[in-house]
Amino acid sequence: MVSRRQFIAGTATASILSMLGLKLRAADIPLDETFAQLAYSPLSDVQVTPHGVSSHSGNHVEGTSPPPSDVVSQTADIIKATPVGPHPIDVAQSFVIRFYADQPALISQWPDPKPWNPLIVDFFSATDDHAVNDMVPWCAAFVNWCLVRTGGKGSGSPSSQSFLGASFTPTSVPRVGDLVVFTCYDLQGKDLGIGHVAFLRALPRGDTIPVVGGNQSLDGHSSIICERDYPVACRTSRLVDGQRIPCIMRLRAYVRIG
């Protein structure tokens, strides 16, 4: 389990260095390819609206063609067979149990030249904005979908950072099923307003945080629902916001749900 000292050190590194006027350098912190899922179009690049209208501010055209009708029907069957509890994390893990080993494409993002995955698009039905393809960050949509599936209340937002809002309660004593929120910072310690959110699937151990969530990379899959370990310590990553830039992702908070 993460000690109080480890938790404070892991979540305060960037802000302390910023206060001291010191700049973080990408070379000072190990590159963490586990956050590779951030290296594609952000939500701002593919506009998502409740009315299903999409516009593109860039040249990203991957995964923007409709899936065939048989895939849409298959997705409807998958959703119908998905459990409604007892807890949101059980809903999340059900996708891993059913599909990760033998049918990973059913729970992953489909990049160009394939059409979008309708399951990922459906996850956005639990947010105020509805995606019209799967080329957008979807970790928060997945968490919201699992919360709503069990009769709970989500953030209503496709942003991972929305779970840091006043409607949710952070905790320094996490328990299985709570949310884990990571935040990205630039090398000067500025909050970039993006990150990652997933469910805590086991108590933190040593320097790692076991989670289950969507839009995660593992075993050659760049964006899939899976169980994996994330580091407590700061790690450098890359994101796309018109260009590739280095950033620091670190544990921001554990959030109590249920």
pLDDT mean values, one per 10 residues, the chain (258 residues)? 39 39 48 50 49 37 75 97 97 98 94 84 92 85 98 95 95 96 88 92 92 93 93 70 68 92
pLDDT given for residue 54 in this prediction: 39
* Cβ within 8 Å of residue 85, ≥6 positions away: 91, 149, 150, 151
pLDDT given for residue 237 in this prediction: 67
pLDDT given for residue 80 in this prediction: 98
pLDDT given for residue 37 in this prediction: 47
**Three-state secondary structure readout of 131-187:** CCCCCCCCHHHHHHHHHHHCCCCCCCCCCHHHHHCCCCEEECCCCCCCEEEEEEECC
pLDDT given for residue 130 in this prediction: 83
pLDDT given for residue 229 in this prediction: 94
